[in-house]
Structure 1
């Protein structure tokens, strides 16, 4: 089995990667600025400690890829899809993240504080200790998501589908949950978070 090619410390600026297909390549501490990655496809690609500035990820598709401890600043992820990807420790700042679709994978310790996540979909994703403080998640789907230890102060989850997710980090006094859909087991968790007991 061939060893994965590593690209370390490179800078890419103003390039057109529209529709490109990235295979098993390891980008380590690289910088990507003002790139067009619209409709790009990555399969098993690893980005580690990389910086993405003003990159267009519109309609891109990522499968079994990893973005480890990466920084995304003013990037556009309109209609981007991540399947089975690992984004642990990455941060998103001033990014367009909707409509985003994430299925499976590990987004633990991701910083999505204050992000506009209205209508996005996270299904079967691990998001332990993710920062969603003040995030606007109205109408989103977080189904079967591990949100244990997540930071959720002043986050909005109104009209969200939260069924099957770990809600132990949810404190109803700190999070907006108006018209959110939950299952019976989750209702018990939220009742306990309010300091109530079921009779």
Structure 2
């Protein structure tokens, strides 16, 4: 049984290097908490607020951050493997270099985020909000971006191979020197109104 903590507030605490396993936090608030090098496994954070929290070099596996708010948090070198972040919002956060492998980031709000050089691999990001996101030099491979909001996003020099680009409107995004595969090239050509002979 997971230990459940509800409606609690944590402020200025030192969780450096802690290990969170099978913990469940509901509607909790974390402010100025140091979670540097923290590791979580099968932990769940539901409708929690993280304000100015340090996630530097933290590692998260098979954990969930559902409908959470991340405000001015630092995720430098953080890693998420098989995690679920559906409906979470990131505002004014430091997100690079971030590494995400697998999991579900659908409906996540990353609008205006600086995602240069980050890695998203095999992630579900259906209807994610990447409006005006700066993703230059990122690896966004085998990612489900169907229905994603991509207006004014920049994907210059990105590795986009294997990702679902059906939501891309070529006249609304930048992707100079991005790497795509043949199937994606057909999708982009069709979006441009071209006919393949």
Shared fold by TM > 0.5? yes
What are the residue-to-residue correspondences of 1:1-199 with 2, within 5 Å?
3-199=1-197
CA apart distance, 1:129: 0.1
Q: TM-score if structure 2 supplies the norm length?
A: 1.00
- Number of residues of Structure 1 aligned to a counterpart in Structure 2: 197
Cα deviation for residue 176 of structure 1 reads 0.1
Question: How far, CA to CA, are the matches of 2:157 and 2:146 in structure 1?
Answer: 20
- Residue 5 of structure 1 and its aligned partner are, at CA, apart by 1.2
Alpha-carbon shift at residue 156 of structure 1 (Å): 0.1
Runs of 5+ unmatched residues, structure 2: none
Deviation at 1:81, TM superposition (A): 0.1
Distance across 2 between alignment mates of 1:151 and 1:186: 18
RMSD: 0.3
Provide TM-score, normalisation by structure 1.
0.99
Extract structure 1 runs of 4+ deviating beyond 4 A: none
- Any idea what the Cα deviations from partners look like across 1:33-70, whole Å, max 9, x if unmatched? 00000000000000000000000000000000000000
Structure 1: tracts of 5 or more residues without a match: none
